[in-house]
Each structure stands twice: as structure tokens, then as C-alpha cells.
Amino acid sequence: MGTLQVFKLILILGCFGSIAEGLGVNWGIIASHPLPPKTVVQLLKDNGIKKVKLFDADSSSISALAGTNIEVMVAIPNSMLSMMTDYDTAKKWVDRNVTRYNFDGGVNVKFVAVGNEPFLSSYNGSFLNVTLPALENIQKALNEAGVGSSVKATVPLNADVYTGDLPSAGRFRTDIADLMTQIVTFLNQSGSPFVVNIYPFLSLYDNANFPFDYAFFDGGSNTVNDNGIVYTNVFDANFDTLVSALKAVNLGSMEIIVGEVGWPTDGDINAKAAYAQRFYNGLMKKLASNTGTPLRPNQYIEMYLFGLIDEDSKSVQPGNFERHWGILKYDGQPKFNMDLTGQGRDVTLVPAKSMQYQSKTWCILDPKAQNLTAIGNNINYACTFADCTSLGYGSTCNGLDSSGNASYAFNAYFQDQSQVDGSCDFQGLATETAQDPSTAGCNFTIQILLDSFGYRVLVPVKAVLFHVLVSVFLEMLW
Ligand SMILES: *[C@@H]1O[C@H](CO)[C@@H](O)[C@H](O)[C@H]1NC(C)=O
Ligand SMILES: *[C@@H]1O[C@H](CO)[C@@H](O)[C@H](O)[C@H]1NC(C)=O
Ligand SMILES: *[C@@H]1O[C@H](CO)[C@@H](O)[C@H](O)[C@H]1NC(C)=O
Ligand SMILES: *[C@@H]1O[C@H](CO)[C@@H](O)[C@H](O)[C@H]1NC(C)=O
Ligand SMILES: *[C@@H]1O[C@H](CO)[C@@H](O)[C@H](O)[C@H]1NC(C)=O
Ligand SMILES: *[C@@H]1O[C@H](CO)[C@@H](O)[C@H](O)[C@H]1NC(C)=O
Ligand SMILES: *[C@@H]1O[C@H](CO)[C@@H](O)[C@H](O)[C@H]1NC(C)=O
């Protein structure tokens, strides 16, 4: 091959470079208008994403993944953990939610997540007694069903199960140290990975003095020196704190998967699309180059981004940002440029196609309304049901005036209710309009239709891509 051909080959690999082997996404569905499962699965395929993590075993989500060969982590919610301490119940769960899909052209289930962050301090120990028995029963049921060598049960844990001022000092949290040792010993015996959720954003959110750049991967000036090992970002430091905690119980080489990692785009002063873009840019490059971490250098890390799509009905107890974790908006449209191949190109994700929206009608505070006494109560009512998190301090719609606030709340409720009759009234204070009240940074959204999907224009799109590929390869031949 001549230099020109080599150059062209590089160009081609660059243009069609595939995403890192270890990359997956979390698919949550706590939304007023969840995207149809088929649309989500198409999004995964179009973006080359080959691993997905669910938060339950919802049959419509799982069924939509059939025949795709996408690797799936299904889950048992915390609320079902105590039931799973009964072996027969665990066996039924596995039969119904794993084995059923295990056929040629079925679903490629790789993991069962037993609970989700069950040892969070905020749960007051509610799941301490049930998690390990549930884990053991599920793995036993998988083994008995004959799928135990390919499907592994594990427990996605929050990074708060371990502590350490420096990565080398990592140890499991003292109040659960014995339990954690039993769990990791069991995981090791069954050949299952440790799954941990790591959130540099939360390091920043929880600590006003946290060095901002250290949350990203291009910080440079903020470093932590751990007995000669220099950490340049909190992700590596956190990951290695876990490595040390595992080492302390003689499991220093146990496989670690990052179950959740990401950056929200609204609902807090540090939750911005620009920061998310910066974070993911560094993360994707790291993942693609298999740099690993100082204690596990040159290693491939499997990780699941949190999350794929915004979820407007999530609890905001942890913070208003909870509803804005998506790399895509509620309607499957990209929020910022992101190159999943880790080459740092200025490219967009492939959006959900042929989305169908409710009519272009917004609900606003009636400019003719005279008596505004009841406005506060009506805003509160709207925001109790609908998502108003973009109005808060540091958020995209925080600059609105008081009537803008009312309009935003009324519209959020009206769209949440799918524009049904009577949902834009608010004791006569509201009125419908066909004029978009959105401002520069603040989007008054129109919700998507809940039903009647299914129309897509995939054939022409695929045909175009095929055409491009063919012409590129024909060109290579000269
Ligand atoms: C299968 O999973 C679904 C969704 O999490 C759950 O509602 C159902 O009870 C499970 N089936 C069995 C038999 O446990
Ligand atoms: C945990 O305890 C706190 C304080 O007693 C209480 O407010 C909270 O509701 C409890 N949470 C759960 C999940 O039980
Ligand atoms: C867990 O079990 C211990 C010992 O059996 C018991 O004392 C404790 O109350 C249990 N905790 C919960 C939250 O059920
Ligand atoms: C981890 O699992 C391997 C394989 O089953 C076993 O040989 C080893 O002793 C286990 N290590 C610990 C610390 O339990
Ligand atoms: C304004 O509305 C409130 C209740 O919404 C009512 O109590 C009050 O009398 C009204 N004021 C006037 C001047 O109409
Ligand atoms: C609008 O609502 C937000 C969130 O409740 C509040 O912080 C802000 O002060 C309000 N603005 C005005 C002008 O009332
Ligand atoms: C608001 O969001 C919708 C849905 O993603 C998008 O189509 C529209 O362009 C946005 N409007 C503004 C003003 O940003």
C-alpha cells in the first residue's frame, strides 16, 4: 500500500471507527412519556452501543432487545430483594425473567443486578439482611437453570461502600465491612464482577471546596499524590480506592465494572451541557485508549453511562439534577456533541428518528388574568405533578420573571397531562397559545405522543449509509 492508501485507510477507520468495546448505557424508564422500547433499541443500534443495563426486568424493554445480540444486564429492584430470600421465588424470577429469553434469536442476558445501591446510607440499613441471601439464591437459580456460566448475578453498589483518604487507603465502610467481605467472596467464587457506580459530579455537588478540574479528565493542575502515584482525576482515584479495598480482602484482581458514570445537564449550577460534554469527551478517550487506572494500568474498563435518556419522573430527593442525566433529551435528541469512539471528533449522536409530538400548543399564564392571588398555589400544584426542575437556582430556566415561572409550570403540567382538556386552566389563570414561549436557554417543551409510534424512515437512511460505504470502498480500489 502506498502512503496515500494508508492515509485513506486511516481516514476510513476514523470515519467508521467503532465505539469502545467496554461501552454500555443505562436505560431507565421513570418518565412521564417514556420512549417506546423499539425506538430505544433502534437508538442503541444506530449509535453502535452493544451493552445495556436495565433497572428491572420489564418485559416490553427486554423483548425489544430480542435478536439484537446486545448484552443486557437485567435487574431486581430493591423492593423485591426480601422476596428473593425465598429460593422458590428466586427460581421463578429467573425462569420468568432470564431463562425465558434464552433461545436462539432471544435476548443476550449477561448479568442480573440484584438490587440497586442497596447499602446507601439513606436506606437506613433496610436491605442489609436480604441482599446477600438474594444474591446467592439468584446465582444458584441461574446455575440450576444451566445458564450460570454465562449469566452472572451481582450487586451494583454505590461508591459509598468504601472509603479512603487516599486510593491506597481504600477499605470497605466499617459498618458493612463484614457483609462486604462476604459479598465479594461470593462474587469471586461465582466468577461475577464487582459493579460500582462512580460519580465525579457528586463529588463536586457534595463538596463546595472540591477542586473543579479534578472532576474531569483534563484537569492537569489538580493532582493528588498517593505515595508517589499521581492521580489527575477523581474517577481514577475513586476506582483505585475500590481496588485497594478489594486488595485488603485478598481479591485485588477481581473484575470491576462501572455500572453508572455520567454527568447531568440541568438542575444544578454544575449540571450543564458544556460540562457534561467536557466530562464525556475525557471519559470516552480514556475508555477507547484502554489506559486503565494507576493501580490497573493498560486495562479495558467496562462501563455503563448514566444514562441514555432523561427521566422526568425520577425522585428529586438527591437533587434537581436527577431528571437530567441523559446523554439524550426526553425525546431521544442529542444535547451536545459526543464521540462515542473516543476520537474526540465534533460529532452528534444519532437521534431517535421520526418522533411524533403532541400539537404545537403551549400553556401559559393568561396575560389578561387580573387576580393573581392564587398563582402560587397553582404553580405548586403544577410542579407537584410535572417536572419544574429547570426553574431552580443554576438551572436553564432560572432567569425567568415571575410570570415566566408561572407559564413554565403551567406548560410543564399541560404537556405532562398530554394536553388533555382541562389541563390548561389553573382556576382561570392559564391559557393556551400557539406561540413558543421558549427563551434562549430555556425550553418550554412539547411532549411526545404516548401511542401510535412505529413509523420510521430507516430504509432510506440505511440506503444512504450503504451508498457512502460502497463509494468509499470503490475509491480505495484505485
Ligand atoms: C419478572 O420481572 C418483573 C419486572 O421486574 C416482575 O414484575 C415480575 O414479578 C418478575 N417475575 C417473577 C415470576 O418474579
Ligand atoms: C431513614 O431514616 C430517616 C431518619 O430517621 C428517615 O427520615 C427516612 O425516611 C428513613 N429512610 C428510609 C428509606 O427508611
Ligand atoms: C437484620 O438481622 C439482625 C439479626 O438477625 C436483626 O437484629 C436486625 O434487626 C435486622 N435488620 C433489619 C433491617 O431487618
Ligand atoms: C477467588 O476465587 C477463586 C476461584 O474460585 C479461588 O481459587 C480463590 O481462592 C478465591 N479467592 C478468595 C479470596 O476467596
Ligand atoms: C382573588 O382571588 C382570591 C382566591 O383566588 C379571592 O379570595 C379574592 O377574593 C380575589 N380578590 C378579588 C379582588 O377578586
Ligand atoms: C422563579 O422560580 C424559581 C424556582 O422556584 C425561583 O428560584 C425564582 O426566584 C423565581 N423567580 C421569580 C422572579 O419569582
Ligand atoms: C426545545 O426542545 C425541542 C425538543 O427537543 C426541540 O425540538 C426544540 O428545538 C427546542 N426549542 C428550543 C427553543 O430550544
For the chain, domain boundaries: 16-324, 362-433
Determine phi and psi for 77, rounding to 5 degrees: -65, 155
Q: Which residue in the list 136, 260, 311, 322 is annotated as catalytic? A: 260
Q: Is the CB of 34 under 6 A from ligand 6?
A: no
Catalytic-residue membership of 302: no
Cα-based distances in Å from 301 to 193, 219, 400: 12, 21, 43
Give the three cell numbers for residue 423. 389541563
Per-residue pLDDT of the chain (478 residues; tens, 9 = 90+): 455 554 544 444 444 567 778 999 999 999 999 999 999 999 999 999 999 999 999 999 999 999 999 999 999 999 999 999 999 999 999 999 999 999 999 999 999 999 999 999 999 999 999 999 999 999 999 999 999 999 999 999 999 999 999 999 999 999 999 999 999 999 999 999 999 999 999 999 999 999 999 999 997 788 999 999 999 999 999 999 999 999 999 999 999 999 999 999 999 999 999 999 999 999 999 999 999 999 999 999 999 999 999 999 999 999 999 999 999 999 999 999 999 999 999 999 999 998 999 999 999 999 999 999 999 999 999 999 999 999 999 999 999 999 999 999 999 999 999 999 999 999 999 999 999 999 999 999 999 998 644 332 222 333 333 333 433 343 333 3
Nearest residue to 236 via CA among 176, 168, 174 = 168
- Pairing type for strands 229-231 and 224-226 reads antiparallel
Residue 255 half-sphere exposure, CB side, CA atoms within 13 Å?
16
- Which protein residue's CA is at the shortest distance from atom 9 of ligand 3? 129
Cα-based distances in Å from 349 to 36, 46, 319, 335, 414: 18, 9, 27, 9, 29
Which residues have a Cβ under 8 Å from the Cβ of 254 and sit 6 or more positions away?
184, 187, 188, 193, 194, 246
Atom from ligand 5 closest to the CA of residue 374:
5
Give the three cell numbers for residue 440. 434562549
- Which protein residue's CA is at the shortest distance from atom 4 of ligand 6? 392
Cβ atoms of 42 and 349 closer than 8 Å: no
> Taking the alpha carbons of 64, 70, 76, 77 in that order, is the dihedral positive or negative?
negative
Task: Write down the pTM of the prediction.
Answer: 0.90
Q: Is the CB of 371 under 6 A from ligand 5?
A: yes
Spatial distance between the Cα atoms of 305 and 95, rounded to a whole number of angstroms: 28
Give the three cell numbers for residue 54. 436495565
- Of 124, 127, 130, the one to substitute when testing ligand 2's pocket (max ligand atoms within 8 A of C-beta) is 124
- Which protein residue's CA is at the shortest distance from atom 1 of ligand 3? 129
Cβ atoms of 44 and 326 closer than 8 Å: no
Spatial distance between the Cα atoms of 33 and 35, rounded to a whole number of angstroms: 6
Helices (H), 260-345: 273-289
Residue 397 half-sphere exposure, CB side, CA atoms within 13 Å?
22
Give the three cell numbers for residue 301. 474498563
Catalytic-residue membership of 117: yes
Fold held by 16-324:
TIM Barrel (3.20.20)
Nearest residue to 182 via CA among 131, 132, 142, 135 = 132
Q: Is the CB of 439 under 6 A from ligand 7?
A: no
Q: Is the CB of 125 under 6 A from ligand 3?
A: yes
- Which protein residue's CA is at the shortest distance from atom 13 of ligand 3? 126
Spatial distance between the Cα atoms of 466 and 318, rounded to a whole number of angstroms: 45
Which residues have a Cβ under 8 Å from the Cβ of 100 and sit 6 or more positions away?
none
